[in-house]
Structure 1
C-alpha cells in the first residue's frame, strides 16, 4: 500500500466525537497472555512518544510492569514488538475494509463505505496509524515483506472496488489504478494531521471522505 477506518458515513457532519473502542478493544483483543498484551500496549506508548529508534526495551518493559528479562519471554526484541504492532494495525485496516465492502449493496455504496471506514479508522486510531505507517522503514527486510503482503491486499480491495464500478457503469474515470492509489493515500494521510480545521471527529472525516471518493470516480448521480 502506498504508505498505508470503522466509522460509517452518516447523513450529516457531526461535531461531537463518538464513543470509540479503546486501542486494546479495537486492535489487541485476542492477544494472550495478558502480559504480552501489556507489553505491546507499552511499546505503542513509547514508540508514539519517542519514536522507534529512541525507544528502549527497558522502558517498554517498565511500562508493562515487567523486567527486561521477563519481556523476552514474550517478544525477542524491540523489533519484534514493532513488527507485531505493524502486523496487527494492518490486519485491522484490512478487516475494516472487508466489513465495509460487505455492507454495501451497490458499487457506489461499497466504495464510499470502504473509504469512509478506512479514513475513519485512521482518524480514530491516528496514533497507532502513525506508528504503523511511519515506522515501516524501521522494520527488517523480512518483517517489512510480511507486512507488505497485507498492504498489497488493502490496495487490491480499494482498486477492485473502483474497477467494479467501472464495469457496471457506476463510475466514469480514465485511470482506475491511479485513482485507487490516490484514495488509499489520502486515507492514510489522515493520521498525520487529524484533528484539524473543521474535522474534529472521525465521523466528520468519514462523511467528507465518502463524498470525495465518489467525486474522484465520477460516480453517476
Structure 2
C-alpha cells in the first residue's frame, strides 16, 4: 500500500477544487478542507494558491509532453507516427480531463514567471507535432501547407476534450481519440 504524502494530498485536493470551482472561485481553505488539513498546512508546502496551480500546471504539461514525444518516437512511418501522436494526446486529455481543464483554462491565472516556464512546455509540444508533420511532408506522404497552423489545430482536437468530456458519457476516451487520429490522417495524408 502506497502512502500519500501531505503535499500529494494538497495537490490532489487542489485539482478537485480548481476543476470544480475554477482558480478564482477556490480558496486555500477549500483546498485544505478537501485534503483534510488546516488552512495553515497549505502554506507549509506552498507559499500561495497560485503556487499550487503552478505545480498542477507544470506536472500536467510535463506529462502531456511525455505522451506526445513517446508517441512521436513510436514509429518512423509518418502516417503511423501522426496517428499515434494525435490518438495518445487526445486520450491523455480524456483520461486526465480534470487536470487538463486546469492546465488549459487556468493558464492565465499563473504569474508571468510561472506562465513563461509553462509556455516552454507548450512550445515543445507544438514543435514535436510540427516536426512530425514536416517530416511527413519531406517524405512526400503528408500534404500540409501550413505546418504550424496544422500542428496547432491537431493538438486542439485533444485539448478541447477537457472542456466537455466526462468519463462515462456517450463516447469513451478511446473512441474519441480514435476519431481524432483518423481525422488527423485524413486531413493531412497526400492524396
- Give the structure-1-normalised TM-score: 0.80
Residue number in structure 2 paired with 1:146: 117
What is the Cα deviation at residue 145 of structure 1?
A: 0.5
Distance 2:29 2:81 in 1: 45
Partners of 1:199 and 1:205 within 8 A in 2: no
Matched, 1:183 2:135: no
Q: How far does the alpha carbon of each residue in 1:83-139 deviate from its partner, in whole angstroms, 9 at most, with x for none?
A: 000001111100100111121231111111000000111111111111111001111
Summarize the Cα distance change of 1:204–1:33 in structure 2 as closer, same or farther, 3 Å threshold.
closer
Structure 2: tracts of 5 or more residues without a match: none
Distance 1:56 1:189, change over 3 A: same
Q: Deviations over 1:169-213 (max 9, x none)?
A: 1112222222112111222111112259x9511110121111111
1:163 aligns with: 134
1:218 deviates by 2.2
SS in 2 for 1:51: helix
| Structure 1 outlier segments of 4+, above 4 Å | none
In the alignment, does 2:146 pair up with 1:172? no
Q: CA deviation at 1:47?
A: 0.8
Q: Provide the rounded CA distance (Å) in 1 between the counterparts of 2:114 and 2:42.
A: 20
In the alignment, structure 1 segments of 5+ residues that lack a partner are 1-28
Q: Displacement of 1:33 after TM fit?
A: 7.2
The equivalent position to 2:107 in structure 1, one of 106, 115, 136, is: 136
Give the secondary-structure state (helix, strand or coil) at the position aligned to 2:51. Answer: helix
Is the contact made by 2:133 and 2:144 (CA closer than 8 Å) also made in structure 1? Answer: no
Shift of 1:71: 1.7
Following superposition, the deviation at residue 42 of structure 1 comes to 0.5
C-alpha contact (below 8 Å) 1:108/1:219 kept by paired residues: no
- Which structure is higher in RCO with an 8 Å CA cutoff and minimum separation 6? 1
Aligned residues: 189
1-structure distance, mates of 2:44, 2:51: 12
- Aligned-residue CA RMSD in angstroms? 1.9
Residue deviations 1:37-64 (CA, integer Å, cap 9, x gap): 0000001111111111111111211211
> 1: CA distance between counterparts of 2:26 and 2:120?
27
Equivalent residue, structure 2, for 1:56: 27
1:74-89 aligned at under 5 Å gives the runs 74-89=45-60
The residue aligned with 1:201 is 172
Aligned to 2:63: 92
Instruction: Report what 2:83 is aligned to.
Output: 112
Q: Secondary structure at the match of 2:26?
A: coil
